[in-house]
Chain A
Amino acid sequence: MRSSSEPEVTDAALTIEDLAVQLRSRGEVADILDGITLTVPRGSVTGVVGESGCGKSTLLRAILGILPGRATTPRGRILFEGRDILPARAAKPHGRIGFVPQDPYLSLNPVFRAGDQILEIMRRHAPGTRAEHRVKLVELFRAVQLPDPEAALHKYPHQFSGGQRQRLLIAAALCCDPALIVADEPTTALDVTTQREILGLLRELVRARGLSMLFVTHDFGVLASLCDEVSVLYAGRVAESGPTRAVLDTPTHPYTRMLLSCHPDRAVELLGIPGAVPPATAQPAGCRFHPRCPVAQPDCRSEVPPLLPWPGGRAVACPHTARMEAHALA
């Protein structure tokens, strides 16, 4: 029998179109995401970068279907395996999308064995018996290079180091054979040496298992070492997107340019960006970056700049990038 919503055929593992998310609290409306459009091509890693509060975690929550109850989604579609999974009544892709959280220290319940916590997820969302699940989990522990995978099944979270816990959580994200992994700054709490190992592991898993991944970070170095494509978020909107190398080598949106010039690897003189990211309850009209933008024009205060295609598979939401060129030379 055919369902009424025939899957759309596409090359993308995930497509997000014009997604808006608002949160209501005490009469105020917080405009958290507004018109997010991005694609995760099959078998590749797409990065989402942006400063604290720009809406990165909210975007992942929308994809996972775990937005808080007070949230509304006035516009948008999230296409996964050909179906829109955004509407509240849409079937949720449990297990088909694996999630790697930010903090390996907070994400496991300390009173239960780590293995049992993952087996419980498998019981709910994966076919097979408990014995089969155990065999598979030990295999996964081996794949994420946990030392002594058999014994790991019986250990409590505090018996693992930070890096090992992040490996456990990656195993948990993989336990129901997902097609897509979404990761929320999974290496921020780790030392550089451990971070490097985890990034290597993620790269290897994507390659070996043909996974696709959406990877949230605020670290451009991590982005450069892992992601094929990137979307740069500012105040809940996409400022610029495209192949990571191109965006890092020739940043085009005034925000991306200024942000990258703050990077200690690149800065001639560390300046910072004047002003601060606006609170979600008081987003400026027009281009949300205009109060901090050195080349803002009168129309920037009233017109929302659309995300327009740019050569080389890129897209930029600013009509005044040429002025930025002149500004940089001045």
Chain B
Amino acid sequence: MPELLRAEALTTDLGRRAGFLRPAVSLRAVDGVTLSIAEGEAFGVVGESGCGKTTLARTLLGLQREAAGEITLAGRRVSGLAPAEARRLRADIQYVHQDPGAALDPWWRVGATLDEGLRIHGVGDAAERAARIAEMLAAVGLDADFGQRYPHELSGGQQRRIGLARILLLRPKLVILDEPTAGLDLSVQASVLRLLAELRARFGLTYLFISHDLTVVRRVCDRVAVMYLGQVVEEGPAEALFARPAHPYTRALLAAAPHLDGRAAGPSLPGEPPSLRRIPAGCRFHPRCTRASALCAAQTPPTEAAGPAHHVACHHWREAA
């Protein structure tokens, strides 16, 4: 499959508002991330809260300007542009918000919100807009009269369906799904995941799937990148990464996820989730790592191949358990 999106050594700084008589400080939320997403692929990004997943998504979308690095979309370089221009060039990428309610105007019937989206994207003919909305509501499994409802009259699962319909109406190639199943009940989650699979097949979509739920990512994604403090520490085919995790952090994450069989998990990860405001020297994971040596505290580990299309950044990955 040809490459659809590529990020090369992508770095994003977030400005923190300056306090009274205090200079503005900036926070490097994404630090040298390289990834490549093939057309038609479901690519997962996992990691603890605050590790920079949403910031990475916003940078790829052009909503956040990169401080360094390069983004290529379908072979065309799109970085280095002003946000408005970058956003226009990146209309093929759409984003489904982490909080589906937040993306809907509470005072508008959802049909009006969908219509507005199409108008902004230059679909002038009202009849065509109505037809496309009806078709898309059906595609996400909702009756046409859902268009008459207000956002608060929808359940969590229905809000997510509307959020998807809104994005898919714009006929994107790549859809960035930010925590698409967070807070959903098991049965609703199952129907949303099934819908995502159907839509992907039907419209030939590519997904960037952000989640901290490893069971879901394992189920849905072809490739997975694991982020820790703004960096990708391991990346590879989902099957290989879940079967033979090479990075100690990936292993700890997998061990921490509760499973139905209640299987005894490995040793737990000591220490609190880290903060981008206090980034450790050397390997960023070393204060919590069971395998850390003096080398880890002193030197940033290089990224090495751990298998076909499988990369890991750890000094000691070869000594895997």
Contact = CB atoms under 8 A, between A and B. Distances in A.
Interface of A: 51-52, 161-164, 191-197, 199-200, 218-222, 224-225, 244-245, 248, 258-260, 262-267, 269-273, 276
B219 A221 contact: no
B26 interface: no
Interface string B185-202: 111111101100100000
A197 to B, nearest CB: 6
A271 B194 contact: yes
Contacts of B119: none
Contact of A193 (B157, B187, B253, B261): B253
Interface stretch (B12-20, B30-38, B132-140, B264-272): B264-272
Contact of A52 (B156, B197, B214, B257): B156
B259 interface: yes
Contacts of B286: none
Contact of A272 (B48, B155, B188, B258): B188
A218 B186 contact: yes
Determine chain B's interface SS by DSSP, over half rule.
helix
A196 B256 contact: yes
Nearest to B218: A264
B52 to A, nearest CB: 14
B186 A263 contact: yes
Given A196-B265, A259-B187, A262-B189, A161 B273 contact: yes
Nearest to A194: B273
B283 to A, nearest CB: 17
User: Counting chain B CB atoms within 10 Å of each CB, which of A196, A219, A260, A269 scores highest?
Assistant: A196
Given A51-B187, A192-B212, A193-B48, A245 B219 contact: no
A262 B190 contact: yes
A197 B215 contact: no
Given A191-B48, A193-B253, A272-B188, A266 B272 contact: no
A195 B186 contact: no
B188 A200 contact: no
Contacts of A267: 190, 219
A259 B191 CA distance: 12
A160 to B, nearest CB: 10
Contacts of B253: 192-193
Contacts of A222: 258
A221 B273 contact: no
User: Counting chain B CB atoms within 10 Å of each CB, which of A191, A248, A258, A276 scores highest?
Assistant: A191
B21 interface: no
A225 B265 CA distance: 10
B84 interface: no
Contact of B215 (A161, A258, A264): A264
A98 B266 CA distance: 30
24 contacts: A51-B188, A192-B257, A193-B252, A193-B256, A194-B273, A196-B265, A197-B269, A199-B258, A220-B260, A221-B258, A224-B260, A224-B261, A225-B259, A245-B262, A258-B187, A260-B260, A262-B189, A262-B190, A264-B190, A265-B259, A266-B260, A270-B191, A272-B190, A273-B187
Contacts of B155: 276
Given A271-B190, A271-B194, A200 B262 contact: no
Nearest to B197: A270
A224 B268 contact: no
Given A196-B265, A224-B262, A191 B273 contact: yes
Contact of A265 (B49, B215, B252): B215
B216 interface: yes
Contacts of B269: 193, 196-197
Interface in B150-172: 155-157
B259 A224 contact: yes
Contacts of A164: 272
Contacts of B212: 191-192
A163 B272 contact: yes
Nearest to B258: A221
Given A192-B253, A265-B259, 18 more contacts: A195-B256, A196-B255, A196-B265, A196-B268, A197-B269, A221-B260, A224-B258, A224-B259, A224-B261, A225-B265, A248-B262, A259-B187, A262-B189, A264-B190, A265-B260, A266-B260, A270-B194, A273-B187
A265 B269 CA distance: 22
A129 to B, nearest CB: 34
User: Counting chain B CB atoms within 10 Å of each CB, which of A265, A267, A270 scores highest?
Assistant: A270
A265 B258 CA distance: 10
Contacts of A161: 272-273
Nearest to B181: A264
A51 B185 contact: yes
**Nearest 8 A-B pairs (CB), nearest first?**
A272-B191, A221-B258, A262-B190, A224-B262, A51-B185, A196-B256, A272-B190, A273-B187
